Homo-oligomer: A and B are copies of this chain.
Amino acid sequence: MSHPLLDKHRATLDGALHAIATRGYWSPYSEMPSPKAYGETAAAEGQRAYAAHLGQDFVLDQPGQTGWGGKEVSPYGSPLDVRYPLCHPEALVAAGLAAMPGWQAVGAEGRTGLCLEMLARLNRQSFELGHAVMQTTGQGWMMAFQAGAPHAQDRGLEAVAYAWREQSFVPAEATWEKPQGKNPPLRMKKHFEVVGRGVGLVIGCGTFPTWNTYPGLFAALATGNAVIVKPHSNAILPAAITVRTLRAVLAENGIDPNLVTLCVTDEHRTTQALATHPDVKSVDFTGGNAFGQWLITHCQQAQVYAELAGVNHLLIDSTDAYQAMLGNLAFTLSLYSGQMCTTTQAILVPAGGIDTDEGHKSYDAVCEDLGQAIARFLSKTEVACAVLGAIQSDATVDRIAHAHSGQLGRVVLASQRLEHPDFPAARVHTPVLLACDAADEAAYMEERFGPISLVVKVADTAAGIALSERIVRQHGALTAGVYSTRAEVIEAMTQATWRGKVALSINLTSGVFVNQSSAFSDYHGTGGNPAANAAYADSAFVANRFRVVQRRYHV
């Protein structure tokens, strides 16, 4: 049994399967928004496709529609003025369930083929999606294109590959023949059916509406489930474009498109009711701890895959490339104004300073040098605006202001508001860098989302390693880093990260950054500390999303 779309995309699937097993660099979707990769007309067409959504009703033909809604305002300053269908959640659940038998019937081969086709279509929409992500999240263009389109597609494909691998282990049928000594053997025919568990709910976030949505969306879909996508109320458009494309691929292939629907709502209660609906069997969530913990506590009918807040951090023990280290950190702290779930917040530096290729540097010198490196990196407004993007929410603007109050620590580098050359109303703010003592735990021991980092003075390297482990255990982290020229420090830090279960980046000084993870190679999170109970993407992310129902009879 195969499927035409599986055959069509077989090379992509095989590439992904090879990549997740060997974990080298691989991607089928070009990250360069270039005519060479996407065609001469792609950029202009994508721009037009994006612009055509503005001021319009985004028609999806979903069941149970009760009206229109959506009030997205771009962090770059202007409202999008797109209206989306508001649908009764019960109608979406019922329609998803009704679509599932047809989805089950095409088998893992058909589901995988259709998912690969969906991703190929989304790839062709990369410019349109890039603009939608940029304007809803405030990301700079290059990042919005890359993270919002090809990298998100990579993560979706990765989930499809894991889902395929697990499902393909289940044989469709088997003959079971048990010897009975001198008597004829017992013989049975058995059939094994892969069955989705129910409706998957995928709750998106405001900063990465595709990158953080596609893993759960495609993991749930590929394993036989219906999916309802509930986007963040200020980042609906990228999700809506995605859902429309998926529905089109389904319909073209004879599958009820209501398998995938969009649920737009501002009402917390609506999301809660959906998440605890008895037919909702998985919830993928990216967001804050309060609602994440609510979901984990209340959604006992569902498997909850939650990415929550954490305190990302790194330890500087020593370095033989001081300027390169500072440059790497300056970029990390600036990229999308620190609005990544992987951005470093706490930089642990020994009170006695650090040894470097430029001689010993005191704690204060490290603070100053890092501050200057950031300021230097952002000294040209155009570069700064391209890297920083805009601040996604007012709450983050407030946090930046609060960081200057002196309550969290001494201000090493103050944040500046910049005027964006293209978008005068954009909320553009450079990072604020603070200095504090390890004893000031209230300052750095909780996530301060946005361009706010603290250089934390620790007694010595050993104390820094111990603090790192405690941060991971108590508050979680998606990323940790270490700079050291000493093997024993790297070894001790490695072992601490094994105990705390956090990914470690060691001595990053060139074009790889602690806040970036590469699909098919890097696990995004470990799922083993409070910052996330699941990783994108691994076997655990897919294996529990389907069930095998068998039947057997004598032959």
A residues near B (Cβ < 8 Å) are 20-25, 101, 104, 165-166, 169, 171, 174-180, 186, 188, 190, 192-193, 195, 197, 296-297, 300, 494-495, 497-498, 501-512, 518, 521-523, 526-528, 535, 538-540, 543-544, 547-554
Does A503 contact B549, Cβ atoms closer than 8 Å?
Answer: yes
Q: A174-B521, A186-B512 are in contact. List 17 more A-B contacts (CB 8 A).
A: A23-B192, A24-B175, A24-B177, A176-B518, A176-B521, A186-B510, A195-B501, A197-B501, A197-B528, A296-B300, A501-B549, A503-B549, A505-B553, A506-B553, A538-B548, A539-B539, A539-B543
Using CB atoms, name the residue of chain B closest to A23: B174
User: With the chains together, A184 CA to B20 CA distance in Å?
Assistant: 24
Does B509 contact A554, Cβ atoms closer than 8 Å?
Answer: yes
Using CB atoms, name the residue of chain B closest to A32: B181
Q: Which 7 A/B pairs are nearest by Cβ-Cβ distance?
A: A528-B547, A506-B553, A23-B174, A539-B543, A504-B551, A540-B543, A543-B543
Q: Please, which residues of chain B bring their CB within 8 A of the CB of A24?
A: 174-177
Does A190 contact B543, Cβ atoms closer than 8 Å?
Answer: no
Main secondary structure of the interface of A (DSSP, over half): mixed
Q: Please, which residues of chain B bring their CB within 8 A of the CB of A297?
A: 300
Q: Please, which residues of chain B bring their CB within 8 A of the CB of A179?
A: 25
Q: Please, which residues of chain B bring their CB within 8 A of the CB of A23?
A: 171, 174, 176, 190, 192
User: With the chains together, A188 CA to B553 CA distance in Å?
Assistant: 53
Using CB atoms, name the residue of chain B closest to A480: B551
User: With the chains together, A101 CA to B501 CA distance in Å?
Assistant: 13
Does A104 contact B498, Cβ atoms closer than 8 Å?
Answer: yes
User: With the chains together, A21 CA to B538 CA distance in Å?
Assistant: 20
Q: Please, which residues of chain B bring their CB within 8 A of the CB of A504?
A: 549-552
Cβ of A295 to closest chain B Cβ, rounded Å: 11
- With A300-B297, A549-B526, A554-B510 as given contacts, are A539 and B169 in contact (CB-CB < 8 Å)? yes
Does B549 contact A506, Cβ atoms closer than 8 Å?
Answer: no
Does A526 contact B548, Cβ atoms closer than 8 Å?
Answer: yes
